Structure 1
Amino acid sequence: MNAEKTIHDLLRLMLAKNASDLFITAGFPPAIKVDGKITPVSNQSLTPAHTSELAHSIMNERQWKDFEATNESNFAISPPTIGRFRVNVFVQQGRVGVVMRTINTKIPKMEDLNLPPILRDVAMIKRGLVIFVGGTGTGKSTSLASMVGYRNENAADHIITVEDPIEYVHEHRKSIITQREVGIDTDNWFSALKNTLRQAPDVILIGEIRDRDTMEYAIAFAETGHLCLSTLHANSANQALDRIINF
């Protein structure tokens, strides 16, 4: 098996079928999710050796080494001429599994997402903390990307993002965009966030608030005169406040 070619062929099929996700699982054929339903794309089930080889083919040696140590890995890939994809590699029942999700490489406009017009003003404020709250797949990262894109088009600032992984890749417009991926551009969240203020930012995007330390950094950034943008997994504003208080 040419693992890299197999992955690329599956990704092309995924895009052709307008699928949201690709699943690589031992004991089951490669499968894609279209309109919320999982559909196998082959008659042949994958062996544990196959899934491990396919996962290894899309990871660099550092990522593979970290994965072997933790049994978890999150990153993004951009195969030339194909697209950009968010990747989660994990272990289940002692076997390697992979889920890959399509990332829209075009930075969405706020009007295309039907976001409230007031968010244009929010995107341009000098300081504060903005957190998008919702469940998985509800558009938190996409909404943040549209706000960063709007600021990038309309202000001459330095915008820093710290993400795991980087989803939307922004080009420099009026602003300088610095995007750092945890595990690739920096060892960990703590190191990246600790040094962010030394990089003279105007806007700081934290991909996700996951713990108390990250929350404290987000609040500190806002209190020191920066606009901080982030996301939080919660089903409502009340649940979000409860999570923030009880981190």
Structure 2
Amino acid sequence: MDFTRLDNKNTDLDNPVFSDVFTEYIDLENPEHADGGFNEQDFANKVAASVNHNASDLHLCTGDHPVLRIDGELKTFTHWPRVNANWLSGLSRHLLSEVQQRQLQQSGQVDCACTTSAGQRLRANVFQQQQGRSIAFRVISATSPSLNELDVPPIINQLIEQENGLILITGATGSGKTTTLSAMISAMNQKQARHIITLEDPIEFLHSSKTCLIQQRELGRHTDSFSSALTGALRQDPDIILLGELRDPESIRLALTAAETGHLVLATLHTRTAAQAIDRLVDIFPVAEKTAIQAQLAASLRAVITQKLCHKVGGGRIAVFEILTQTTAASHLIREGKTYQLHSVIQTGGQWGMQTFEQSIAQRQKQGILADQNVSQLI
């Protein structure tokens, strides 16, 4: 795909965002727009507006006005025309391969990613709903941010030096997990000489090999499943394996095996605390296997980095972190299944790089980054 980006005339949020962008009337009867009225330039307008207003997401839903998520809040822009069903179908055909179009027909939804001609990266989920088709776009930074730009705790810079083991990055949907993970890969790619294989669904941030050899694989395009790709990765001489998400028992088993056999494995989970992350990995297995999985986690888990985004003073959002690192006490609790006691270990584990959300928020407030409000409102 090759979308042409148009620049906004201004970025005053007091004005309707989409009225600030030049558009041309789309005549559905014009043969030039025979593909359901879809027009690449019109789509580029919406992408440009989203990027220029620092939106994290763009929602295009049949029959509705476009909606942006800015600093975590949805904003509907009624000055832009409602999304036409034929136009959205045309956009879908431009976004999706034939295989993905069949998947959409069969399952009612499909993930994909694209890059505009201006280098803007987008992740998309195309799906059917009551009113017709919808597409939810996640706006991805053109380049991966650095760990310094994200202002992450210093322990994360130490964790990327690990030779082996499992590091989990967890948090709710939209909490910035992929961004943090990408920044970690970028940091490795500046100063380490290691072979990194990523298994993603879909590929979001694009990485070029610098000091590291980086090979990115996408579910549905380069492999049929995470488990088969992970099995293959173990035969491809990797030093580091990045898994977009640990989804099923087979992937978890293979990830733990890789971590135990000399590889560093980075993976994400949708959990809100370190304890929940460990419980999620263990509880997916039958009772007969739980003890063995707990023992593997106790031995191989190097850290759980859990994050959420909070509003900054002056606009924008920044991550706060709960961090659990591997210590004798933490490993013992994981092995014994006493994850409910991990919070106490984190509270007192500052010398090993650990911190609670409360401690992270207090530090951000001391720096003047977060608004002065009750911590309980932020966690």
Q: Is the 8 A contact 2:63 2:131 kept in 1?
A: no
Give 1:117's aligned residue.
154
1:177 aligns with 2:214: yes
Are 1:22 and 2:58 counterparts? Answer: yes
Q: 2:49 aligns with which of 13, 26, 31?
A: 13
Gaps of 5+ in 1: none
1:190 pairs with 2:227? yes
Deviations 1:149-188 (A, max 9, x none): 1111111111000000111111111110000011112222
Judge conservation of contact 2:95–2:112 (CA < 8 Å) in 1.
no
Equivalent residue runs for 1:101-180 within 5 Å: 101-180=138-217
Q: Aligned match of 2:265 in 209, 212, 228?
A: 228
How far, CA to CA, are the matches of 2:132 and 2:206 in structure 1? 32
CA separation of 1:48 and 1:152: change in aligned 2, threshold 3 A:
same
**Residue 233 of structure 1: how far off its partner (Å):** 0.3
Residue number in structure 2 paired with 1:85: 122
**1: distance between equivalents of 2:89 and 2:271?**
33
In structure 2, C-alpha distance between the alignment counterparts of 1:41 and 1:182, rounded to whole Å: 36
CA, structure 1 residues 43+146, in 2 after alignment: closer, same or farther (shift >3 Å)? closer
Matches of 2:206 and 2:119 in 1, distance apart?
Answer: 15
Q: Percent identity?
A: 36
1:74 aligned to which of 111, 114, 117: 111
Counting only pairs closer than 5 Å after superposition, residues 52-63 of structure 1 correspond to structure 2 as 52-63=89-100
Note if contact 2:65-2:81 (Cα within 8 Å) is conserved in structure 1: yes
- Structure 1 stretches of at least 4 aligned residues deviating more than 6 Å after TM superposition: none
SS at match of 1:209: coil
CA contact under 8 A between 2:65 and 2:76: conserved in structure 1? no
Q: TM-score, normalised by structure 1?
A: 0.94
Q: Deviations over 1:81-107 (max 9, x none)?
A: 150011111111272110001101222
Flag structure 2 segments of 5+ consecutive residues without an equivalent: 1-36, 285-379
* Number of residue pairs aligned between Structure 1 and Structure 2: 247
Deviation at 1:45, TM superposition (A): 2.1
Q: How big is each residue's C-alpha offset from its partner over 1:92-141, in whole Å with a ceiling of 9 and x where there is no partner?
A: 12721100011012222112212121222210111100001111121211
* 8 Å CA contact retained: 1:27, 1:47: yes
- 1:14-66: CA deviations, max 9, x gaps? 11222221111112122222231222254432243332222222112221122
Distance 1:241 1:173 in 2: 34
Indicate conservation of the 8 Å contact 1:11/1:82, yes or no: no
- Which of these two proteins has the greater Rg computed from alpha carbons? 2
Task: Provide the residue aligned with 1:32 in structure 2.
Answer: 68
Contact 1:75 1:88 in 2 (8 A): yes
* Of 81, 87, 103, the match for 1:50: 87
Alpha carbons of 1:199 and 1:50: their partners in 2 closer, same or farther (altered >3 Å)? same
